[in-house]
Structure 1
Amino acid sequence: MKERDNQIVFSAELFIAHRFRTDIRSETGLYFTSGDLGSDVPLSDFRHLRGSLVKSRVGGREAHHSAAMLTLARKLKKDDGGKAGRSSATSDSTHRVSIRDRLLTKEVADLEANLPSTCKASFPDENKLHHFQLSVSPDEGYYQSGKFQFEVDVPEAYNMVPPKVRCLTRIWHPNITENGEICLSLLREHSIDGTGWAPTRTLKDVVWGLNSLFTDLLNFDDPLNIDAAEHHLRDKEDFRNKVQDYIKHYAR
């Protein structure tokens, strides 16, 4: 590009020749300003229009222009810029998915070989290892005899970010809300105490952590469901009764 009279002037010949790998010849050298650009011309019309010459004046000098040249730069700049952005975003996304899927191929095999006896994993679509359901059936404690379903979604950015997990079974639990939100430290993307997610963790860690929410990791001191924690503090037996009532209605 050249600057003349405070206007951005393009070499249409060089632009078209480079873009379409074709020769465009003239005796004077074809230039046009951004002000010369008229209505858009479809790229498919280029070969039909490039021989149609019009006259315009640039910098006080007369030059012949192809009609397509007067509109094509703006079109190509817009299209190429959009394609570059889309191509870059698509490439990044595909790369991340590829990394995730390679990791999951190994991790799912390891998970299935090391599931706790109280857990069962199921994959609605065996071609989509990033989405599965986990069933936890505690054999001790408050939640014994219940069957609790979790939905696990592994995002494209895995393993730089943790899986997204939601409890599908309504439950009365200090660390799980009745809407299915879960408080489990290793599912936190950012944690100041170092107990949150790290790329060294795997799906097996997630499953064992969810299983432990019903035993070792059951935490009344740092609750997500404050009402459930306070209920336990007030009356442990009544808390147990409500847990069993929820199991009877929602977790069979």
Structure 2
Amino acid sequence: MLTLTKKLRREQESRDDQSSSSDKQGEGHVHQFESNNNDIIAQQRGPPKRVSVRDRLLVKEVQELNSALPSSCELKFDDPDKLHDFHLTITPDEGYWRNGQFLFHVHVTEEYNFAPPIVKCLTRLWHPNINEEGSVCLSLLRQSSIDEMGWAPTRRLKDVVWGLNSLFTDLLNFDDPLNLEASEMYQKDAHAFQQRVNEYIQKYSNKKQSSSSSSSNRR
């Protein structure tokens, strides 16, 4: 005989069973959602990035360069995680340009070290081997060179920095000029050449100017 108490108890047990089943289904949906969400995040992130040969080389080369940087040179990395892109400031302590400060932009391509870095002078100056557009004539920056001093995979970033620094001293070359007018002026009148150098230093390369100011002059 089904009493009222038993009936109520059965109805309660039935409701409890339905509630438990509903909870389990809900948990299943949650787990499925989390799994799908994790899959989407993983797809968005993609596979882990590989470090290029260039970047592996530069980690060591920049450390070596910083420990043996010429006193007239200063490196600046706008982004410390991008060692392939930096600025070099050269402040010659002797020679025709000793009162100036010259900013260079150096970009190391993915082809490094089979290809040389791309270098541009951002400060206007009067120089036989650097024209007023910022192009630089330096043998080691050439893929091939008639003097057999062009780029080779054995060269390093420090060779580039030391080479640029030496353009203001012992690598200065009036016989193979990029700026022909500057070279001819020196050949005809060295004093006039020095005056023109000083004029450019005063106008474009004052030490009181910031690097960004020097950069804007080139733009």
Superposed pair shares fold, TM > 0.5: yes
Output the amino acid matched with 1:225. N
Residue 180 (1) aligns with residue 110 (2): no
What corresponds to 1:131 in structure 2?
85
What corresponds to 1:39 in structure 2?
none
What corresponds to 2:185 in structure 1?
231
Work out the CA distance in 1 between the residues paired with 2:133 and 2:69: 26
Q: Give 1 or 2: higher strand fraction.
A: 1
TM-score normalised to the size of structure 2? 0.71
Work out the CA distance in 1 between the residues paired with 2:60 and 2:204: 34
Output the amino acid matched with 2:85. H
Sequence identity, in percent? Answer: 60
What corresponds to 2:161 in structure 1?
207
Residue 144 (1) aligns with residue 98 (2): yes
Q: Which runs of 5+ in 2 are unaligned?
A: 1-48, 207-219
Larger Rg: 2
What corresponds to 1:161 in structure 2?
115
The CA deviation string for residues 133-164 of structure 1, in whole angstroms up to 9 with x for no partner, is 00000011100110000000000010000000
Matches within 5 A, 1:1-252: 98-252=52-206
Q: Give 1 or 2: higher helix fraction.
A: 2
Work out the CA distance in 1 between the residues paired with 2:145 and 2:194: 31
Q: Give every structure 1 segment of 4 or more consecutive aligned residues whose post-TM-superposition deviation is greater than 6 Å.
A: none
How big is the alpha-carbon RMSD for the aligned residues of Structure 1 and Structure 2?
A: 1.1
CA gap 1:123/1:114 in 2 versus in 1, 3 angstroms: same
Q: Which runs of 5+ in 1 are unaligned?
A: 1-93
The CA deviation string for residues 34-63 of structure 1, in whole angstroms up to 9 with x for no partner, is xxxxxxxxxxxxxxxxxxxxxxxxxxxxxx
Work out the CA distance in 1 between the residues paired with 2:114 and 2:191: 42
Work out the CA distance in 1 between the residues paired with 2:152 and 2:127: 26
Give the C-alpha shift of residue 194 in structure 1. 1.8
Output the amino acid matched with 2:171. L
What corresponds to 1:68 in structure 2?
none
Higher relative contact order (CA 8 A, sep 6+): 2
Give the C-alpha shift of residue 192 in structure 1. 3.4
Give the C-alpha shift of residue 193 in structure 1. 3.0
3-state SS in 2 of match to 1:205: helix
